[in-house]
Amino acid sequence: MLKILQWLDYIHHMLSRMSHWRILVVVLMTTATVSFHYGILIPDAHGGLLHAIHGRLCYIPIILSAVWFGVRGGLITAVAITAATLPYARLHGITDRHALVGEYTEMVFYVAIGLMTGVLIERQWRERRRAESLQRELARQERLSSLGQMAAGLAHEIKNPLGSIQGAAEILGDGAPAGSRENELLDVLRKESRRLSGVLDHFLGFARRRPPALAPTDLAVVAERAATQMEVDAASRHVAIERSFADGLPTVRADAEQLHQVFLNLLLNAIAASPDGDRVLVTAARAQRDGRPAVAVRIRDWGGGIPEDVLPRVFDPFFTTRENGTGLGLSISHAIVGDHDGWIDIDSRPGKGTDVTVVLPVDRSDRGH
């Protein structure tokens, strides 16, 4: 029953996402071939040469559906044609053994062609997506390199005079009467200079990313530590942080401190996106990626989501939609996860929230765990 529901859900998803004209073409071609088979379009087409021609025509909507909709599309069309033509032999009183074997063998080929064409097409889709992803990654790395050098230079030029401003503000603040207007202004100067110093440190961290110090690491422990650290900030926004960690997770080879920074960045974004009284869910579980055992940490919020036109740019350095954001949090997180031979995926729908998943391969020495 569950499989049937999954197939029905796929059909609904396919109908809603794919172009209506493609579905209409497949349906019309399938209807035409079945009608041809039973002699509705052409009288007496169910015998001899015309019937043999029909058997070949049925492959057209099957292959077309597989090309447009993948494996399930090809199989759905093949099964539909098979089901429609299955009663043919009984209705027309065919009893010849060789004719029946040929009829039913043709139906097996319908399903086989739909399956094989769909598999080949989906493999081509995956290769195309992988090539596009590599191109985007290369372009992003080039931008990271050039922007990193620029950020380092600017940060150095600004940091020294900023340190002088901070020191002068501290000295002047010692002589200002408490509660005076002068002290209030100096307090603003101190706070803003500290904030700017933090932004510069962020820039320098982006520009001078150190290689990870890899060691066997329990991702659930790292994620729990980050969630605990962010609880005060979440509580101030009336957002709860919930956890769900699978037991007995294998270790990964990672730099725990760098991944702690990644999870802090992701939690900060999730909390900022969450409305008052909402929650953020942090989970850790086993996973598979490219045939390799892995551990996945997922951070889920139910906020406003990310617009489709913004989603491809979220990992770009200095790109942000937040008023006080630096645009480096996700960029740095993406680079750190990449340095760990891992993956970071974002699934977001406007109005329904965002899922960010960090996937790291399992430590080879712990794969039997």
d(Cα 347, Cα 299) in Å, to the nearest integer? 11
Bridge-based pairing state of the strands 343-349 and 279-289: unpaired
d(Cα 285, Cα 282) in Å, to the nearest integer? 10
Which pair of tokens denotes residue 136?
Answer: 């985007």
Report the alpha-carbon angle 127-129-131, nearest 5.
70
d(Cα 38, Cα 54) in Å, to the nearest integer? 10
| Residue appearing with tokens 């769909």 | 118
Residue 320 scores a pLDDT above 60: yes
b/e string for 309-337 if b means 16 or more Cβ within 10 A? eebeebbbbeebeeeeebbbbbbbbbbbb
pLDDT digits (tens, 9 = 90+) for 8-30: 455 545 555 556 778 888 888 88
Which pair of tokens denotes residue 86?
Answer: 């299955």
pLDDT digits (tens, 9 = 90+) for 94-123: 666 666 666 677 788 888 888 999 899 888
- The reported pLDDT for the residue numbered 230 is 92
Bridge-based pairing state of the strands 279-289 and 240-245: parallel
pLDDT digits (tens, 9 = 90+) for 167-201: 777 777 676 677 777 777 878 887 877 777 777 77
- The reported pLDDT for the residue numbered 196 is 76
Residue 362 scores a pLDDT above 60: yes
Task: Tell me the whole-structure pTM to 2 decimals.
Answer: 0.55
157 against 311, higher pLDDT: 311
CB atoms under 10 Å from CB of 192, counted, come to: 13
d(Cα 277, Cα 239) in Å, to the nearest integer? 5
Architecture of domain 215-366: 2-Layer Sandwich (3.30)
Residue 51 banded pLDDT, cuts 50, 70, 90? low
Share of residues in the chain with pLDDT > 70 (%): 72
In this predicted structure, which of 152-156, 273-277, 345-349 has the lowest mean pLDDT?
152-156
Residue 97 CA neighbour count, 13 Å, CB half = 0
Q: Which of 303, 299, 339 is nearest to 321 (CA)?
A: 303
The strand pairing partners of 279, in sequence order, are: 240
Q: Which of 248, 215, 223 is nearest to 363 (CA)?
A: 215
Bridge-based pairing state of the strands 343-349 and 240-245: unpaired
The strand pairing partners of 286, in sequence order, are: 295
Q: Which helix (H) or strand (E) holds 301?
A: strand 292-301
Beta strands across the sheet bearing 343-349: 240-245, 279-289, 292-301, 353-361, 343-349
Q: Which of 352, 262, 353, 266 is nearest to 301 (CA)?
A: 353
Q: Which helix (H) or strand (E) holds 281?
A: strand 279-289
* Domain layout of the chain by residue ranges: 2-131, 137-207, 215-366
Average pLDDT in the chain? 79
119 against 157, higher pLDDT: 119
324 against 278, higher pLDDT: 278
pLDDT digits (tens, 9 = 90+) for 196-205: 777 777 666 6
Share of residues in the chain with pLDDT > 90 (%): 25
5 against 345, higher pLDDT: 345
Residue 162 scores a pLDDT above 70: yes
Residue 361 CA neighbour count, 13 Å, CB half = 13
pLDDT digits (tens, 9 = 90+) for 337-346: 988 999 999 9
- The reported pLDDT for the residue numbered 1 is 47
Residue 57 scores a pLDDT above 90: no
Residue 221 scores a pLDDT above 90: yes
- The reported pLDDT for the residue numbered 130 is 80
- The reported pLDDT for the residue numbered 270 is 93
* Pair 172, 298: CB distance under 8 Å: no
pLDDT digits (tens, 9 = 90+) for 240-267: 999 999 999 999 999 999 999 899 999 9
d(Cα 325, Cα 26) in Å, to the nearest integer? 49
Report the alpha-carbon angle 29-31-35, nearest 5.
115
Q: What is the mean pLDDT of residues 41-64?
A: 66
**Residue 314: what residue type?**
V
- The reported pLDDT for the residue numbered 256 is 93
